[in-house]
């Protein structure tokens, strides 16, 4: 990419981040983004095919990174709420966009996608316990899905309520204690 095009691309990304943060995806204006960059709206389309592609550039890499974190947890047989919270706060600007400003994009159902990954990871862990001869109480699959969804939603409450990193990490400790105890009770584990 020529130097000018790279510079314009960076200006567009910065302006888009500002616009989406201020107005959310649905009310963001390509004209305002273009004006902030000193170009025409049609000039933006030389860099991005759509407003959603622009939004995706800002959030997709970090959301994919979070999904990778859950996939890794599944392979390793652990679930570390603190590691998830740390990752979120390492990428807080993108997660604020996802959590608070993604209405109208393919990202507005991000919590459901993460819950499905958490569900898969948890089921793999429970299966590994069973294969080791541990007794695991059966739980209705619908209830299990709802409980996992509540667990995932609880993590993102830190972003919704604009907790500082320190507050969020304290909250992650509390969540981990609360849910670990609760999951053990639900599945009849010691």
What's the pTM? Answer: 0.89
Give the domain extent around 140. Answer: 59-187
CA 152 – CA 179 distance, rounded (Å): 11
> 53 lies in a domain?
no
Kindly compute the dihedral angle of the four CA atoms of residues 146, 152, 158, 161, in this order, to the nearest 10 degrees.
-40
Tens-digit pLDDT profile for residues 15-46? 999 999 999 999 999 999 999 999 998 889 88
User: Is the model more confident about 20 or about 188?
Assistant: 20
Contact indicator for 123, 77 with CB cutoff of 8 Å: no
Tens-digit pLDDT profile for residues 135-152? 999 999 999 999 999 999
The helices-and-strands tally (H runs, E runs) of the chain is 9, 0
Judgement on whether residues 105 and 171 belong to the same structural domain of the protein: yes
Judgement on whether residues 67 and 157 belong to the same structural domain of the protein: yes
């Amino acid at each position: 990419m020529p130097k000018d095009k790279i510079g314009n691309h960076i200006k567009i990304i910065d302006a888009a981040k500002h616009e989406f943060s201020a107005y959310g995806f649905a009310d963001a204006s390509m004209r305002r983004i273009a004006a902030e960059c000193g170009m025409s709206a049609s000039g933006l389309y030389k860099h991005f095919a759509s407003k959603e592609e622009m939004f995706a550039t800002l959030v997709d890499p970090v959301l994919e990174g979070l999904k990778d974190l859950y996939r890794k947890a599944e392979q390793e047989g652990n679930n570390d709420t603190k590691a998830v919270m740390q990752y979120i706060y390492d990428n807080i600007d993108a997660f604020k966009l996802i959590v608070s400003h993604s209405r109208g994009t393919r990202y507005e159902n991000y919590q459901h996608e993460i819950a499905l990954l958490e569900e898969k990871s948890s089921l793999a862990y429970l299966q590994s316990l069973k294969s080791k001869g541990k007794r695991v109480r059966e739980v209705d699959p619908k209830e299990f899905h709802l409980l996992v969804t509540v667990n995932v939603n609880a993590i993102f409450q830190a972003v919704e309520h604009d907790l500082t990193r320190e507050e969020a990490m304290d909250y992650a400790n509390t969540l981990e204690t609360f849910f670990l105890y609760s999951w053990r009770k639900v599945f009849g584990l010691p």
